[in-house]
Amino acid sequence: MYKFEKLARSIHQMIEDGIWKAHDKLPSLREQSELSGYSLMTVLNAYQELEAQGWLYAKDKSGYYIAERADLEINSNKEILPAQEKIQINSVVFNYLKDTQAHDIVPLGSAFPNPELLFNNKFMQLLSQHAKRKNSYLNHPNMPPGNLELRQIIAGRYQLQGISCHSDDIVITSGALDALNLSLQALTQPGDFILLQETVFYGAWQAAERLGLNVVTLPDDPESGFDLDAFEKALKQYPIKVCWLMLNAQNPIGYTVSAIIKKKIAQLLFQYQVHLIEDDVYQELNFGKEKPVSVKHFDQHNMVLHCGSFSKTLGMGARVGWVFAGSYSNAIQHVQLMSTLTVSPLLQNALVDFVAHHHYEKHLRSLRRHLDQNKKRFYQELKGRLPEDCQIHYFPTGYFLWVELPESMDSQQLYIDLLEQKISIAPSLLFRPKHTAQNFIRLNCSFEWTDELATTLDQIIYQIKKNKKA
Ligand SMILES: Cc1ncc(COP(=O)(O)O)c(C=O)c1O
């Protein structure tokens, strides 16, 4: 931890302990420097960090003062609803994605399943057949809300799960990220409050930063995956407009929330008139017999916009997703026509054939089986090697393992050290606010077990042990 972060943390603690109250003036930079023994620059950096997090505000030539939100949050139950903070994650994610792109890096930090498992020959054949047809490539009916047949097929898949859905409810998007972003943009204005899980896919933080939204975070609940009491408290306490939640094979932690809790979430959303954008990109990657249900399943009042995608089952080249938008379809198309416009007609046409002729279900069965096998093997190998003070959070869905390192460890440093050895891991800073514990990593365990993978894992363990000692 840098010196300025240490100082910022101790001032923050004093605010939490009620020593500093809203609008109190902090010691000047010089006074603070004398008091704390830190340099003027360190004090300035600490004050600026707290200002960026919304704990302080600066008055021209007069100095730094405690912000209103400090009182607001200290008076609320801070254990249940941790501080919102000014989000600054875009450059962290940008740098991470750039740094980990090189082809010679072992992609254990990747968000995509093993591409070998996603590649499907039949889908490629259908794509090439459509590529030879002018109409498949140029036809207009693929403009928003997207190819009608594909929307009918997706609506049919919802109906098979017992969810009433019509093709008009569906908007085809460029992957799930587009679906999530368009939904959030259609439902919010800058300055609105949204609710996110404390540890969540970085796309949610990025969207909130880009749209200038205030974020209230829901603490992680490793047992059930979701703390209903804290959720209700948040809905009562804050003027939350939209929640963005992931409840199936949650990225990065991996848990799946029970149907009972999802039903209750749907009831609370209606009671408090709050919308949910439900990120369900991994819904198909279950290993049991049944697909887990979504909150959408229990949504009687169109409070839930449910987002899915083919990119996590057919590869990043299949950038086709959708949102079950219901009556918000038009609002979403408005935003779409000003931004991502349309999705490749070629992909949409090939998907229609692929899904309609049951190739997709066959592909999913094989994908699930391989992911299940690879994850179990990776877990066993990792468990056998990890030091005892590390904990693996294992859930039987998806293709991630969330690993808790000793509290004293900084996963960002581990990430930097491993990147030098051409290994990528995903450090917790990508998924949770800066002020929270950062001793977690996400590992992609969708790869087949090989000698190379064993060597990589040994290198990771060696580095963990080395950093633990440092
Ligand atoms: C949890 C989660 N949601 C959404 C997305 C975006 O999906 P897509 O690639 O379909 O845009 C990702 C991609 O990594 C993800 O992990």
Ligand 1, residues 100, 114, 199, 251: which to mutate, most atoms within 8 A of Cβ? 251
Instruction: List every span in the chain annotated with CATH 1.10.10.10.
Output: 3-75
Distance of CA 347 to the CA centre of its chain: 25
Cβ(223)–Cβ(253) below 8 Å: no
Beta bridge mates, 440 = 404
- Please report which confidence band the pLDDT of residue 420 belongs to, taking 50, 70 and 90 as the band edges: very high
Q: What is the pLDDT of residue 433?
A: 87
- Write the pLDDT tens digit of every residue in 285-297: 998 888 899 999 9
Rounded to the nearest angstrom, the distance between the alpha carbon of 147 and the centre of ligand 1 is 21
Q: What is the pLDDT of residue 1?
A: 67
CA–CA separation, 382 vs 392, rounded Å? 9
For residue 279, which atom of ligand 1 is closest to its CA? Answer: 3
Q: Is 322 in the pocket of ligand 1 (CB under 6 A)?
A: no
- Write the pLDDT tens digit of every residue in 175-186: 999 999 999 999
Q: What is the pLDDT of residue 38?
A: 86
Query: How many helices and strands, by DSSP H and E, does the chain display?
Result: 19, 15
DSSP string, 280-306: -TTTT-B-SSSPPP-GGGG-SSS-EEE
Question: How is domain 141-357 classified at the architecture level of CATH?
Answer: 3-Layer(aba) Sandwich (3.40)
Q: Is 175 in the pocket of ligand 1 (CB under 6 A)?
A: yes
The mean per-residue pLDDT over the stretch 201-215 comes to 94
Q: Is 176 in the pocket of ligand 1 (CB under 6 A)?
A: yes
The mean per-residue pLDDT over the stretch 347-363 comes to 96
CA–CA separation, 329 vs 184, rounded Å? 13
Rounded to the nearest angstrom, the distance between the alpha carbon of 195 and the centre of ligand 1 is 18
Q: Is 179 in the pocket of ligand 1 (CB under 6 A)?
A: no
CA–CA separation, 328 vs 331, rounded Å? 5
Rounded to the nearest angstrom, the distance between the alpha carbon of 152 and the centre of ligand 1 is 23
Residue 78 predicted with pLDDT over 60: no
Instruction: List every span in the chain annotated with CATH 3.90.1150.10.
Output: 90-115+362-469
Both tokens of 220, joined, read: 């992680």
Instruction: List every span in the chain annotated with CATH 3.40.640.10.
Output: 141-357
Q: What is the pLDDT of residue 181?
A: 98
Strands 240-245 and 214-218: unpaired
Rounded to the nearest angstrom, the distance between the alpha carbon of 16 and the centre of ligand 1 is 36
- Please report which confidence band the pLDDT of residue 79 belongs to, taking 50, 70 and 90 as the band edges: very low
Closest to 205 (Cα-Cα) out of 220, 218, 215, 191: 215
CA–CA separation, 120 vs 118, rounded Å? 6
DSSP conformational letter for 32: H
Rounded to the nearest angstrom, the distance between the alpha carbon of 444 and the centre of ligand 1 is 14
The mean per-residue pLDDT over the stretch 264-276 comes to 98
Closest to 188 (Cα-Cα) out of 217, 218, 210, 219: 210
Residue 390 predicted with pLDDT over 90: yes
276 phi/psi in degrees, rounded to 5: -120, 130
For 84, the 3-state DSSP assignment is coil
How many Cβ atoms from other residues are within 10 Å of residue 37's Cβ?
10
CA–CA separation, 179 vs 112, rounded Å? 18
Q: What is the pLDDT of residue 75?
A: 43
Rounded to the nearest angstrom, the distance between the alpha carbon of 114 and the centre of ligand 1 is 15
Residue 15 predicted with pLDDT over 60: yes
Q: Residue type at 425? A: I
CATH 1.10.10.410 fits 3-75, yes or no: no
Ligand 1, residues 309, 444, 446: which to mutate, most atoms within 8 A of Cβ? 309
Rounded to the nearest angstrom, the distance between the alpha carbon of 132 and the centre of ligand 1 is 30
Q: How many residues does the chain have?
A: 470
CATH class of 90-115+362-469: alpha beta
Q: What is the pLDDT of residue 74?
A: 45
For residue 310, which atom of ligand 1 is closest to its CA? Answer: 10
First to last CA, the chain: 13
The mean per-residue pLDDT over the stretch 167-182 comes to 98
Q: Residue type at 313? A: T
Q: Is 279 in the pocket of ligand 1 (CB under 6 A)?
A: yes
Peptide bond into 387 cis (omega under 30): no
